[in-house]
Amino acid sequence: MKKSYRIIISGGGTGGHIFPALSIADAIKSKCPDAEILFVGAEGRMEMQRVPAAGYPIKGLPVAGFDRKNLLKNIPVLIKLFKSQRLAKKIVKEFRPHVAVGVGGYARGPTLKVAGSMGVPTLLQEQNSYAGVTNKLLAKQAKKICVAYEGMERFFDKDKIILTGNPVRQGLVNPNISREEAVLSFGLNPLKRTILILGGSLGARTINHCLMANLEKIKNSDTQFIWQTGKIYINEVKETVAKAGNLPMLYVTDFISDMAKAYSAADLVISRAGAGSISEFCLLQKPIILVPSPNVAEDHQTKNALALVNKNAALYVKDSEAKELLLDKALTTVNQPNLLKNLSKNIAELAFTDSANVIAKEVIKLAEKYMEEHGWK
């Protein structure tokens, strides 16, 4: 009898959760073309557009994140959580999944809690070096927990843990483009050092404000920048740059569609310390200065950054110190070839090259076991 697995993948919120989720889905489909995959995301979040664009169906939950600073604001959040659990139960009942996968983001909490309580095996993908509250709760009923860092047994049952690394988005490596071609594609000079600034899909306020405050220094630096501002900040950045006069060493954009070219062009990258981004830098062997976001649960980005810094695989600037220190550190670093070489060598040793396929195999194993125990239906 032909096996047609039904799989729920839940999570999203940012590209750092969505891209790995889609990579896992694609890996499952490559092994089991008849698999039915349903995404469950949060209404109004990025996944509600990105997932259908990638060819997968998605259902939305009215879920939102908790405000840990102002507890009174969480009353509406609790109401949304209750509604989300009811809707998640309806989705699970109708879709009848053989396995449910959680990748991070608001929706995975109610989805995996409900699926697990209904006897569906669950698999967690913990991207960070420090496990969040939701994953620690969901881990109790999870069958497998795929992690990206060593030492995660301090959070989870060691018998459930599989060290897989984080899946990265497809098409990051283009062996057919040279650094020179990549730099030229951004209208820049291949003879000059190039720094790639990444703010994530939404943008990084501190990094953007640091550069805006130091345009004169950039003008006199003999270094050029590919500056991805994020959609929230693009107008503010463009206005500030226009007032500063002619700056041919800057390529400013809110979104980079061809990341393979951007990475090929970069001698150094400045970025937040999201787990998905770090996995990309490891795979691509890119020297990196990390500026962890302070606006994340359990300060996990700082912990992600320090996991690399402690292995001499990245440099690190605190968000609170970035305005004063970041640009000087970047300009000094990009002009030290030996330091760039050592950072590249050390970060490469932390790379996982086949994460999506390894996770997909574990998902299929759980689905197969469930089907054997409950009949092929």
Query: Furthest-apart CA pair in the chain: how many Å?
Result: 70
**Of 182 and 2, more confident:** 182
Give the separation between CA 143 and CA 98, rounded to whole angstroms: 13
Give residue 1's pLDDT.
44
Give the separation between CA 233 and CA 211, rounded to whole angstroms: 12
DSSP annotation string for 134-183: HHHHHTTT-SEEEESSTTGGGTS-TTTEEE------TT---TT--HHHHH
* Residues 272-285, mean pLDDT to the nearest whole number: 91
* Residues 291-300, mean pLDDT to the nearest whole number: 83
pLDDT at 312 over 70: yes
pLDDT > 70 in the chain, percent: 95
* Highest mean pLDDT, choosing among 102-106, 132-136, 188-192: 188-192
Tell me what the pLDDT averaged over the chain comes to: 91
Give residue 23's pLDDT.
93
- pLDDT tens-digit map of 330-359: 999 999 999 999 999 999 999 998 899 999
Tell me how far apart the terminal alpha carbons of the chain are, to the nearest angstrom.
10
Confidence (pTM): 0.82
- pLDDT tens-digit map of 250-269: 999 998 989 899 999 999 99
Give residue 22's pLDDT.
94
Give residue 66's pLDDT.
62
- The neighbour count for residue 180, using CB atoms within 10 Å, is 13
Give residue 202's pLDDT.
61
- pLDDT tens-digit map of 61-111: 887 766 666 666 777 778 888 888 999 999 999 999 999 999 988 889 999
Asked if 223 and 198 touch (Cβ cutoff 8 Å), the reply is: no
Domains and CATH numbers, the chain: 6-166+353-374 (3.40.50.2000), 179-348 (3.40.50.2000)
Q: What angle do CA 335, 177, 204 make, to 5 degrees?
A: 55
Beta-ladder partners of 100: 8, 122
Helix (DSSP H) and strand (DSSP E) numbers for the chain: 15, 13
- The neighbour count for residue 185, using CB atoms within 10 Å, is 15
pLDDT at 14 over 90: no
CB burial class (10 A; 0-12, 13-18, 19+) of residue 329? middle
Give residue 363's pLDDT.
97
pLDDT at 2 over 60: no
